[in-house]
Amino acid sequence: MTYKVEEIDNKRIVHLDGEIDMEVADKARNTILPLIEAGHEVHLNLSKVEYMDSSGISILIESKKLSEQKNTKFELVDISKPVEKVIAMAKKFL
Amino acid sequence: MNEVAQANHTEKKAFLVKSSSLKDVRTFCREVFAKLQIEQNLKDELVLAIAEAAQNIVKHAYKDDPNTKDIMVVKISCEDNKLQIAFYDRGTPVDPKKVKHREIDNIKPGGLGTFFIQEIMDAVEFKEGGKPWINHLVLTKKL
C-alpha cells in the first residue's frame, strides 16, 4: 500500500493505493488518524484501492469515531468497486 | 449461483503464520478460483472470506506472534459444485462457542472478519484438528 496526502487549507485529501489488509493496516491508520487528531478535515480517496478487508473497515470506523470526537469531518470521496462491495457488506457497522 | 459446472478439483498450500502471508493466501485463492472459472463477483467474496479466516489464525490463534515458524495450510476443494475450504493450524485451540461477530450496535473496530465469513459462506464448522494439527476450520459454499 502507498499513500499521498494533499493539503488544501484545513482539508487533507489522503489517497490510498493498493491492497489494505492486516499487514499494512497500521501504516494506513498512522497516516489518517493523526490528521484527524490535529483537527483537519480528512477526505479519503479510495479509488485506487484494489482490496480491503476488515482491517481497512476498522480504520474507517476508528476515523469516523475520532472525527466525531474532534468535531471535524471525515469523508470517503471516491471508492473503487471492490472496496464499495466490502463497505456495503459492513454498512450496518459504519 | 455460478452457472459454470466446476470439475472436481483440490489444491492445498502451506503458508507461514504471518500477516505478511495474507497476500500470498489471496494470490493462491485467486489462482485456484480462476482455474475453477468462478465468476469475479463471487471470487472477490470468497477471497475475502478466506483471507479473513487466515487473518483470524494469525491474529487470534497465534496472537500475531512475530517469532513463530509455524505454518497454516489452506486446502480448496470443489466437488459436485460444492466448494470446501479447509484451514489447518497448530495455534491456541479455538473454542467455537467464543467465535462470534460483534453486535451491530457495537461500533468498536474488530470482529468484522467473522461477520464477513458468515455473510459470504453457507457454513462455518470447527472440526477436530487431527495430528499434527490443533485447529481445523471448514468453510463451505454451494456454487
Using the structure block, give the residue that is written with the C-alpha cell 465468476: B39
Name the residue of chain A whose CA is nearest to B104's CA: A93
CA-based nearest residue to B129, from B57, B64, B49, B67: B57
The count of domains in chain A is 1
pLDDT digit string, tens, across residues A22-54:
999 999 999 999 999 999 999 999 999 999 999
Listed in sequence order, the residues at least 6 apart from A85 whose beta carbon sits closer than 8 Å to its beta carbon are B41, B44, B45
For chain B, the straight-line distance linking the first and the last C-alpha, in angstroms and rounded, comes to 6
Q: Percent of chain A having pLDDT more than 90?
A: 94
**What cell does B54 get?**
487466515
Name the residue of chain A whose CA is nearest to B114's CA: A54
Q: Do B116 and A89 touch (CB under 8 A)?
A: yes
Q: Measured between CB atoms, does B133 come within 8 Å of chain A?
A: no
Q: Which domain holds residue A82?
A: 2-93
Q: Do B23 and A19 touch (CB under 8 A)?
A: yes
Low-confidence residues of chain B: pLDDT under 50: 1-3, 104-105, 107-108
The pLDDT assigned to B68 comes to: 94
Domains and CATH numbers, chain B: 9-142 (3.30.565.10)
Q: Do B55 and A22 touch (CB under 8 A)?
A: yes
Q: How far is B140 from chain A (nearest CA, A)?
A: 19
How far is residue B142's CA from residue B30's CA, in Å, rounded to a whole number? 18
**What cell does B10 get?**
483440490
The pLDDT assigned to B110 comes to: 53
Residue B140 near residue B126 (C-beta atoms within 8 A): no
Using the structure block, give the residue that is written with the C-alpha cell 474507517: A60
| Continuous H helices in chain B | 22-35, 40-56, 112-120
CATH number where A54 lies: 3.30.750.24
A15 has a pLDDT exceeding 90: yes
CB crowding B112-141: b at 16 or more within 10 Å, else e: bbbbbbbebbeebebeebeeebbbbbbbeb
Partner-chain residue, chosen from B51, B108, B112, that has the shortest CB–CB distance to A90 = B112
Mean pLDDT of chain B: 88
Q: How far is A62 from chain B (nearest CA, A)?
A: 7
In the β-sheet with B135-142, what is the strand arrangement from edge to edge? B9-16, B71-79, B82-89, B135-142, B123-128
**Chain A residues touching residue B47 (CB < 8 angstroms):** 51
ipTM score of complex: 0.88
E strand or H helix that includes residue B110: none
The pLDDT assigned to B107 comes to: 47
